[in-house]
Amino acid sequence: MGGRGRSRTQRKHFRQSRENVWKRPKSDDSQNPENSSNSTPDDINDSRVNRDPGWQPFATQNTGFDEYYKEQEIVSPEEWDAFIQYLRKPLPAAFRINSSSQFYMDIRRQLENDFTISLQAEDTDGSEVAAIKPLPWYPNNLAWHSNFSRNQLRKNQTLERFHEFLKLENETGNITRQEAVSMVPPLFLDVHPHHFVLDMCAAPGSKTFQLLEMIHQLTEMGTLPSGMVIANDLDVQRCNLLIHQTKRMCTSNLIVTNHEAQHFPSCHLHSHINNSETGNSKEPGISQLQFDRVLCDVPCSGDGTLRKAPDIWRKWNAGMGNGLHGLQVQIAMRGISLLKVGGRMIYSTCSMNPIENEAVVAEILRRCEGSIELMDVSSELSQLIRRPGLKKWKVRDKGVWFTSYKDVPKYRRSVVTSGMFPSGKTYEETSEHNHETVTAELFENGKESSGNELQLIDNPMAPTHSLEAEVSTLPLERCMRIVPHDQNTGAFFIAVFHKLSPLSVTQKKPVSLPRKMDSSNAQAEKSKNEGKEDSDGVEIDSTRGTEGQLSEATIDADTLENGIGEAALDADSNIVSEENEKEEAQPSPDTKNGAEVVRGKRKLQIQGKWRGVDPVLFYRDDTVIDSIMEFYGIKDSFPFKGHLITRNIDNNHVKRIYYISKSVKEVLELNLLSGQHLKIASVGLKMFERQTSKEGATAPCLFRISSEGLPLVLPHITKQILYASAVDFKHLLQYKIIKFSDFVNPEFGEKASKLMLGCCVVVLRRDDNVLSDDQQVDASTVAIGCWRGRTNVAVMVTAIDCQELLERLSSLMATETVLMQENSSSQLETDKVAYKNDSELKEDIKTLTPATLG
């Protein structure tokens, strides 16, 4: 294994521990009922039992689930059977075209004119393959939906070509495989290219990818938007998943951080700070880190993903939602505090539980006291079928229904809080002592004999103190609920907030969750089930519920809004991380220049107060930077110096140089000046890589242009560029290494031999008939990075990118051939008409006489 086992991005981080229960054994034949788009889970389970009598499928039912949601009335009694029937079916596959991709129009055209027609034809011929179709509510036909599951895509021979197409385009970043309802929240954020956006719970990254597309929309090639995205997630392994997903975007406008969302740090500039840390004599562009848009897609019980994670059926219980309510409120409140006045925040979950949805929204509105409003977005995305939020609901705890907080016994009020109820009212004392005694007896008698504290108690006759549920006076009908049977999707909840003013002066903020609760576990196990990673729904321990709300601390809202007093602002973070701070914040005696010397071992990297994290340093080696600019002829108009960073403190051993946008640069400068509160896992676009081969060490420039950075820097370089015909370009992709003398166009080989040794860029010439190399670079330009060796040109592109470009090139050449044939046919018809007209004219001339001429 060598050093591969120690990599921070090991493949095991991307695996899922949950078995895919819809996946059948490889030995199954193609006639298996699982291949049919019309098969139900019962059909699939029966076929498996016949093949393997010892195999036991997950039960797609839960009596506690049925009772709970019938009582909450999330759908009408008439719809219940259809609702449950859809929940038991596998979730159809969905994917989204990356609108910032160079080939997004070609991909959309291929879907519309090739796969849609061919699959429809197969369906007409009697196969059980349904047609794919665009989602009607997603703009510009960029999101597509199929009526077969991902397992059917993998196993059905008829769909093999389509499945291979999806895999290839997903790997290269041209499409993102994402659940349809998961695409909805970013659409309501109304993101523009100049916005600063925070994605608080971002992993696995499908929504972050979507936000980056919106930031980059309308951006010309070689330019960058003035906005940026910060994607945060608590768990380190999920951060790796997030980085793996977003790196396909090839953006310099992204920072990935690793924090508890409810304690996401605020960076603001203190007047006494010296700017020498960043090497700048002037103030950074921003003095406080605030956001125009915040996506708050919180950890939840995930029962809206039952169609994708059917193992949730056997794990589900009402305590899952109760246990996460407090954490969800804290995360949402932190998001609002980081939101600019006039900004917009989305609160969303993949849960159907009103305790995680409307109850959280109501509590946020009450705490903010008019500083925010719940927006009515019913006129937006009119083709999206959605239902209004609930105005009333009940709370269930240990098998007992409560309709009001006054009914909750004192010894359960640390778990069942007043904020879970529609009114949000608190009561000093419970009603009567006898009610307390009766309720206690119900808890005692209702427990299962197995001793499992999480098991729901199926006792629908359990009495409650109040008969009717409270009705909220807040405009919760403005929330949106998406249910499975409306448009064959998963379930989702969305609320859109608009910040009207700074938070009130006496805003209260809950003290952080105690260590015994360990909220990180709940957040790290967040169930989102989106994108290619197939995250799974998980069981949340209800005993870790809302113990974080045992006490509250009052802070000044002006401090929260205006950044006065860093200690007060991050007091909650200091409480939670007190033990870690003692270990991490204090550099050891052997620490020097951001690295701790460990005797006999590799140096431990330090990023500010974060030990074991690679530092983020502005790269200021002018000798190397000047050599790069000279070698590639980078124009002075391109903002280059001051926009390069590295993750290594030793300039002599820098392997990669990253490029950052102006907005990211401002955030990094602010973070350095404010004490490096941000724990940065990934930042910037990898633009240059050190060439470590023996031949590379002798080249005039040690750094080559990476594939990720080429589209950005290409319009700004004037040297080391070659323009190839379609034939030579195709041969390079096919054979990877070609000698100068073996190119079809000898002039191309001669020009290649005259370049300096080192990295070069080969651009596909648009018109083979035009031999001039003066070609304008735009969004349609196709180029690859290569290495000009002593006798040859070698491609420096991954195999998957070569495959994708070859298919694009073949498609392009085929299209040009068809157009040429059509033009030839058209010209032939024109010539025939001209010839016919000429013949008729000659006949007319013959009939002319002097009389007619006179």
Active site residue ranges:
350
Q: Which helix (H) or strand (E) holds 372?
A: strand 372-374
**205 φψ region: left (φ > 0), alpha (ψ -120 to 50), beta (else):** left
The C-alpha atoms of residue 415 and residue 423 are separated, in whole angstroms, by: 17
Is the dihedral angle over the CA atoms 457, 460, 462, 465 positive or is it negative?
positive
What string of DSSP letters covers 401-418? EESSGGGS-GGGTTTS-G
Phi then psi for 801, rounded to 5 degrees? -70, -35
Rounded to whole angstroms, how far apart are CA atoms 813 and 807? Answer: 10
> Judging by DSSP bridges, how do beta strands 372-374 and 387-388 pair with one another?
unpaired
CA distance 729 to 565: 60
Dihedral (CA of 49, 55, 56, 60) sign: negative
Give CA–CA dist 198/331, Å, rounded.
12
Query: CA-CA distance, 348 to 371, in Å (whole number)?
Result: 20
Place of tokens 């790997």: 171
Omega cis (within 30) before 204: yes
* Token code pair at residue 193: 């290219």
Q: Which two tokens mark 376?
A: 């009515």
If one counts every other C-beta atom within 10 angstroms of the C-beta of residue 56, the result is 10
Two structure tokens written together for 314: 């056997």
Describe the crossing of helices 236-246 and 206-216 by its angle, rounded to 10 degrees. 40
For strands 492-499 and 480-482, give the pairing. antiparallel
φ, ψ at 252 (rounded to 5°): -105, 10
Separation between Cα atoms, residue 826 and residue 832, nearest integer Å: 10
Q: What is the DSSP letter of 477?
A: G
End-to-end CA gap in the chain: 102
- Give the three-state DSSP class for 590: coil
Interhelix angle 799-846/726-735, nearest 10 degrees: 160
Residue ranges at the known binding site: 201-207, 233, 297
Binding-site residue numbers for S-adenosyl-L-methionine are 201-207, 233, 297
- Cβ(77)–Cβ(93) under 8 Å? no
Alpha carbon of residue 410 to chain centroid: 42
* Beta-carbon contacts of residue 677 (< 8 Å; ≥ 6 apart): 265, 266, 267, 570, 608, 671
**How far is residue 705 CA from its own chain's centroid?**
26
Contact 435, 408 (CB under 8 A): no
Cα–Cα distances in Å, from 854 out to 841, 842, 850, 851? 19, 19, 6, 5
Give the sign of the dihedral formed by CA 499, CA 505, CA 506, CA 509: positive
522 class by beta-carbon count within 10 Å (0-12 exposed, 13-18 middle, 19+ buried): buried
Number of other CB atoms surrounding residue 704 within 10 Å: 23
Angle at the Cα of 701 (from 700 to 706), degrees rounded to 5? 145
Give ∠ CA 44-49-52 in degrees, rounded to 5.
Answer: 125
578: buried, middle or exposed (CB in 10 Å: 19+, 13-18, 0-12)? exposed
CB 275 within 8 A of CB 673: yes
Handedness of CA 673, 679, 685, 688 (dihedral sign): positive
